[in-house]
Amino acid sequence: MKFFISLSIVIFMAQASYSQAFIAAVNQIPMNTEAIVVRTDGSIVEGKIRSSTLVNGFLKSFRVKDANENIHKFKSDEVLSIKVKPGLLGKLDMIAEKTSSIAEIVNTNFDEIIKREWIYFEQVISPKKNKKPLLLQQLNPGFDDVIKIYNNPGSQETSMVTTGETTIIGGEDRSYIALKSNGDSFFIRKGKYNKTILENFSDCEAFMDQFGSKKFKFRNIALHIFYYNQYCK
């Protein structure tokens, strides 16, 4: 029985690490990409991105041209969700952006970027006291039945490596914003990871049975989120 359980978790972890590392966050929305926008009133606009404005990494506003050549202007607090469909050139731009970061070069699944059809942004109420609505990129689409993980712009830990005359600026994510299907949003921070997991994930017996015997490590966050979504419904 113990062998069966051990074998099952090995297979599960291999599947999770292969298919469910978080997707790459984008730093811009490529021009002329197909987009579907859902306003907060439920109305839908389809068209192509004409421009977008990001402030400190947050998507603040954008414009969409529909099939009738009408231009629709959006502010982030007016949008419930937007999904964009970048073409090959847009995806190559995303890969080019990633090559400036040491950690991202190592950890990003570039094949996943090429294959992915849509990029999703959704309105999330900030975990901060101001409860401000934010338009954030979801990083675990398709594995999000119970908990969604969003990019937290500006939360990178910067580092530098110098080789000869070349200096590479690198960084790794220090925090994400999470949203459980039955609750409010909350931060998952590297420095408080173990405490955050115990506060928000210990309601699932299967999760705690599998991982609760050891201290939770931030580097395993994708595996933890994947498992929670699979077995804690």
Burial class (CB in 10 A: 0-12, 13-18, 19+), 117: exposed
Range name among 40-54, 68-82, 103-117 with the lowest pLDDT average: 103-117
Nearest to 176 by CA among 143, 200, 149, 136: 149
pLDDT tens readout for residues 190-228? 999 999 999 999 999 999 999 998 999 999 999 999 999
pLDDT for position 173? 63
Asked if 223 contacts 13 with a C-beta cutoff of 8 angstroms, the reply is: yes
2: phi then psi, degrees, rounded to nearest 5: -65, -40
Burial class (CB in 10 A: 0-12, 13-18, 19+), 76: buried
Q: For residue 110, what are its two tokens? A: 């570039």
One-character DSSP codes across 136-170: EEBS-TTS-SSEEEEE-TT-EEEEEEEETTEEEEE
Over residues 67-84, the mean pLDDT reads 96
Q: How many Cβ atoms are within 10 Å of 225's Cβ, its own excluded?
A: 25
Burial class (CB in 10 A: 0-12, 13-18, 19+), 22: buried
Q: Is the pLDDT of residue 78 over 70?
A: yes
Q: For residue 73, what are its two tokens? A: 């202007």
d(CA 80, CA 50): 19
pLDDT band at 116 (very low <50, low <70, confident <90, very high): low
Over residues 152-169, the mean pLDDT reads 48
Q: How many Cβ atoms are within 10 Å of 8's Cβ, its own excluded?
A: 10
Range name among 10-19, 23-32, 37-46 with the lowest pLDDT average: 10-19
Amino acid symbol at 74 = F
Q: Is the pLDDT of residue 163 over 50?
A: no
Range name among 1-10, 65-74, 75-84, 137-146 with the lowest pLDDT average: 1-10
pLDDT for position 156? 58
pLDDT for position 204? 96
